[in-house]
Amino acid sequence: MVAKKWNRRDFLKASAFGAAGFVAASSGLSIAKASHPTKSRTRQAATIQVIDPWAAAPQLADAHDAQIARFMESHPNIVVERSEIPFEEFRQLLIQGALANDIPDVVLIDNPDFHAFAALGVLADLTDAIGSWGQSDLYFSGHWSSTVYKGSNYGVPVFSNCLAWFTNTDMLETAGVAVPTTWDELREAAAALTTEDRFGLSLSATHSEEGTFQWLAFLWSAGSDIPTLNDEGGQAALQLWVDLVSEGYMSQGILGWGQWDAKDEFGNLRAAMNMNGPWVLGSLRDDYPDVNWQVSPIPSDKVTTSILGGENYGISSTSRNVEAAWEYIAWTQEPENYKQFLKDVQQFPSRMDVAEDTYWADDPVLSVFLAQIQQARPRAYGANYLEMSNAIQDAIQAAISGQKSVKEALDDAFAIIEPLLSE
Amino acid sequence: MWGTLSKPQTKIVTSSARGRWAVRFRKLSNYLFVLPMMIYLSATMAYPIYVNLDMSLHDLNVRTFRSGDAPYIKFDNYKKLINDPGFRHAAGRSLTFTTISLGFQFLIGFSLALFFNRPFPLNGLLRALLLLAWLMPAVVGGTLFRWMADGDYGVFNYFLQSIGLGRYKDYWLLNPDTALAGTIIANVWVGAPFHMILLYAGLQNIPTTLYEAASIDGAGAIQRFIRITLPMMRPVMLGVLLLGFIYTFKVFELIFVMTGGGPVDATTVLPIHIYRLTFAFFRFGEGAASAIMLLLGLLLLAIGYAQLIHAEEAA
């Protein structure tokens, strides 16, 4: 329950230790690889530290504190201390912590980064613990696969989310347009909904993981994938975005917008449609109470799909309290505890047994997301995913800004990605 | 001459064994004064640089990060970088960004310094206000310019529209042709007051008697500037240019906030490239190598500057 913000001093301390750790690491002084789960002599003193990337998300942070309080009530022999850092700095601080052998016991990592951190050796191999726990079959296979790297199991999903299609009900009604379900309908709807003072739709194509996240949903829908990025499907997916911008149905501003900016365009009636995740639901209701909207599946081409987001729990490879840490994680996954936490954070279950709960199934908005999550795919491309993602961001931006043709942009990106796939 | 006179005296002092030790101790105790600084510098400068150098010579990446067996690969990281189009592109962007930024910062800073060098009411207050731009955190300045240059809501476009040039409206920071220029303008705005303050201090140090004498001899304003101001300001100008170059070459936050290095790679300068190599791609060895190259480049510049100053003082 002790929430601690990483301030500048902690940061500097971590960097200093990081530098010190590096000498040891690179000059060959052996650093114990993964400390073996020590048999805890007394069960009294176990203190585990948990770190999450929610310094800027008070709703998530409060829910996490509440969950930890509930755990400690029923587990007086384990003390859980939570600390938080902003999402954008999470990766960097985790690396510095890893160099200093000073990572909190339990870490909550964004699922596309999870493979990379497993590869870095930052996470403890939990294959045995999870095997004897025996509940892995209860999870949606898409999300579960993001916790498995090279056959070993490094964690458990915290929660899932995915993208869906938001439409402004009033605008669609006035224009006499139905919610698009195919790409052709999408083009027509975008054209019909574009007026003098608004665009047909808003997306995020910014030069960050958010841009890749949004576009991959289209790439997969076209029947393509990163290992075949520059095939016909890949070109069709990118061409669609390029056309929507060049025909004026989508602002070129998408190149700079994150998903929250794209949501604001939609809320401010500057866009009639928007692709986004459940994390904007609270803001749409609170900040734009007069806007009348609904949620539907993403218009699809060949394959109906969505893209999976969410966090995974992992245990740091240097943790001295692996047993207590695992006890905590396993406790969070017990259906009652899990449901309570998910309702507090407004996210979706990664477990099938919990997904059947009426809380999600009977809600007109949440049920759409829940249905999409079951079809959603994770970004499970191994340790080099972030570099592939960067190449894809370059391709999207080059094509939309007119610097390269769609084919050229994708060929260039693929030339970078191909060697990374086999590594 | 003077030295020969004093020599016998020191010999007398050091003749006894005790005196010799006293001198030795005094010499040693001199080093004692330097010691804290040496410790500080080695802990905060030499050691990190050594670690960085060591990293740059090893194949340190995702696979060898924690295992501690990153193979020693000599200069392979450096070779890889030199052949890497991404690195070369970033180095080119950095040079363009720095030279153009520096040119404008210096010209504007110098003009402002000359302007403020004449006494007029509110001089001090205005100077302080101008410095605000430099005092502002880069994140604030960057965000400010990001919104001003925005394609849909930005004040630049509004201004163009209102003077009847609406057809030239653009998404300034999202267009690969204009994004770098946008970051340069923001950086000039941030950096020019810094140049002004340093150059202003230099101008204040030129004795006014020189100008008075020149005026009496009939020199005009332009002649006074070329024959007195410029030569007298030479060391200050060189110092400001060097500092400015180093500061500008290192600019990271401002660009990161404004464009994140995009669109595509239009504003990916070296510091952003290094950041990506290290913290996004986990290519620690290559990241360290490019940081060392950046350091060496700037170090060479500083050495050149020191030589120049030295030569000037000797002359």
Question: For residue A283, what are the domain limits?
Answer: 164-305+384-422
Which residues have C-beta within 8 Å of that of residue A257, sequence separation ≥ 6?
A202, A203, A204, A205, A206, A265
- Per-residue model confidence (pLDDT) at position B71: 87
Residues B114, B190 share a domain: yes
Instruction: From chain B, pick out residues whose CB is under 8 angstroms from the CB of A110.
Output: none
> What is the arithmetic mean of pLDDT over B10-17?
54
CATH number at residue B87: 1.10.3720.10
Backbone angles phi, psi at A289, to 5 degrees: -65, -20
Give the chain B residue whose CA is nearest to the CA of A89: B279
Residues B295, B181 share a domain: yes
Task: Give Cα separations from A300 to A125, A240, A247, A324, B64 (angstroms).
Answer: 38, 12, 20, 45, 41
In contact, A255 and A401? CB cutoff 8 Å = yes
Q: Is A33 helix (H, G, I), strand (E, B) or coil?
A: coil
Q: Is B46 on the interface with A (CB under 8 A)?
A: no
Residues B139, B99 share a domain: yes
* Contact call for B62 and A384, based on CB within 8 A: yes
Percent share of chain B, pLDDT over 70 = 94
Residues A102, A45 share a domain: yes
Residues A329, A296 share a domain: no
Question: Which residue is it, tokens 């990337």?
Answer: A53
A-B Cβ pairs (cutoff 8 Å, strict): 110
Q: Give B 184-223 residues with CB within 8 A of chain A.
A: none
| Residue type at position B115 | F
Which helix (H) or strand (E) element contains residue A187? helix A183-193
- Per-residue model confidence (pLDDT) at position B76: 92
> What is the arithmetic mean of pLDDT over B304-309?
86
DSSP state of B122: T
| Within a domain: B66 | no
Question: For residue B171, what are the domain limits?
Answer: 76-314
**ipTM tops 0.95:** no
* Contact call for A116 and B276, based on CB within 8 A: no
SS3 labels along B50-61:
HHHHHHHCECCC
Q: Is B268 on the interface with A (CB under 8 A)?
A: no
* Encoded tokens for A124: 């403890």
Distance CA B256, CA B180 (A): 12
| Within a domain: B182 | yes
> What is the arithmetic mean of pLDDT over B234-241?
91
- Per-residue model confidence (pLDDT) at position A44: 58
The β-bridge relationship of strands A148-149 and A152-153 is antiparallel
Which residues have C-beta within 8 Å of that of residue B138, sequence separation ≥ 6?
B190, B251, B253, B254, B257
- Which of B66, B87, B275 to mutate to probe the A interface, most A CBs <10 Å? B66
The β-bridge relationship of strands A152-153 and A106-110 is unpaired
Distance CA A143, CA A309 (A): 8
Residues A129, A16 share a domain: yes
* pLDDT bucket at B33, cuts 50 / 70 / 90: confident
- Which of B58, B276, B282, B283 to mutate to probe the A interface, most A CBs <10 Å? B282
- Per-residue model confidence (pLDDT) at position B16: 66
Which residues have C-beta within 8 Å of that of residue A390, sequence separation ≥ 6?
B276, B280, B281
* pLDDT bucket at B220, cuts 50 / 70 / 90: confident
* pLDDT bucket at B15, cuts 50 / 70 / 90: low
Q: Is B312 helix (H, G, I), strand (E, B) or coil?
A: helix
| Within a domain: B67 | no
Cα distance from B130 to chain A (closest Cα, Å)? Answer: 29
Residues B235, B111 share a domain: yes
* Contact call for A255 and B260, based on CB within 8 A: no
* Encoded tokens for A119: 């590869």
Which residues have C-beta within 8 Å of that of residue B201, sequence separation ≥ 6?
B236
Residues B36, B172 share a domain: no
B240-299 residue pLDDT tens? 999 899 999 999 999 999 988 878 889 999 999 999 898 888 889 999 999 999 999 999
| Within a domain: B86 | yes
Q: Domain count of chain B?
A: 2
Q: Domain count of chain A?
A: 2
Percent share of chain A, pLDDT over 70 = 89
Cα distance from A76 to chain B (closest Cα, Å)? Answer: 34
Which residues have C-beta within 8 Å of that of residue B199, sequence separation ≥ 6?
B109, B110, B113, B233, B236, B237, B240
In contact, B290 and B81? CB cutoff 8 Å = yes
Residues A151, A71 share a domain: yes
Distance CA B122, CA B125 (A): 5
- Per-residue model confidence (pLDDT) at position A41: 44
- Per-residue model confidence (pLDDT) at position A161: 92
Backbone angles phi, psi at B240, to 5 degrees: -65, -40
Question: Which residue is it, tokens 């007119």?
Answer: A402
Distance CA B295, CA B52 (A): 11
Q: Is B252 on the interface with A (CB under 8 A)?
A: no
In contact, A298 and A372? CB cutoff 8 Å = yes
- Which of A109, A196, A207 to mutate to probe the B interface, most B CBs <10 Å? A207
* Encoded tokens for A308: 């999976």
Which portions of chain A are predicted below pLDDT 50? 1-43
Q: Which residue has the higher pLDDT, B132 or A23?
A: B132
Question: Which residue is it, tokens 């300034």?
Answer: B172
Backbone angles phi, psi at A294, to 5 degrees: -140, 165
